Amino acid sequence: MKNLIAFILSFSCVIVFSQRNIDLKLTEAEKYTNEIIENNSEKILHYYKLNNGILKKINPNNDYEDDDSEIMMSYKIIKRNNKIIYISKSDSFWGMGDWNSSQDFYFDEKGVLLGAVKKEDWFLENKCARQIKYRGIYRNYGKLKLNRVDKFYNENDKEINLDSPSCKKSKNEALENAEATDKINFRDLENFMKAEKIKYYK
């Protein structure tokens, strides 16, 4: 019995240590990418994907060389030590409309997915909020499913309680929109590229 208890405690310690290790790596990756975004934006690599899967590198200050109808997705990539550690993808690159959607992915330098943040913003225009900002926060703790925490904010970045009297009627819509975001079925950079059906760089 003592051996069993010792084994369980040891196994629990391994899990906790592993989660803390992932959290630490993710925090470091987020700190590094935020520093680049805020202070060294010229280091961000910009790409867009055509409907045929071809990925093209662009200068964000220039117009796209392809017709808008041919562009499917845009990507921002940040590298550290020449390794991709951050990819942000969005299909809201024209900056128009009532709906904004993007997803941020963080990898270690071996290409393993550390975590992700899904962002969906849409207008609600009722007592709950004028605008809802959904943030799905994911962590890869090596389990079958990613650890996921959902957060909802209003247009003033104040967290929303969907069970509050003013938001109950909007709860189903908010949860449905959260579930409708792309599923994260990959766990590394290589399979991210496969999931995105990216053919090659130009």
Q: What is the pLDDT of residue 98?
A: 60
Q: What is the pLDDT of residue 12?
A: 40
* Domain containing residue 118: 2-195
Q: What is the pLDDT of residue 97?
A: 52
Residue 201 covered by a domain: no
Instruction: Please identify every stretch of the chain with a pLDDT value under 70, giving residue numbers as ranges.
Output: 1-17, 63-64, 93-98, 200-202
Residue 200 covered by a domain: no
Give kind and range of the element (H or E) at residue 79.
strand 71-80
Residue 97, by phi and psi: left (phi above 0), alpha (psi -120 to 50) or beta? left
CA distance 81 to 7: 39
CA distance 92 to 21: 33
Total tally of structural domains belonging to the chain: 1
Q: What is the pLDDT of residue 133?
A: 93
Q: What is the pLDDT of residue 200?
A: 54
Q: What is the pLDDT of residue 101?
A: 87
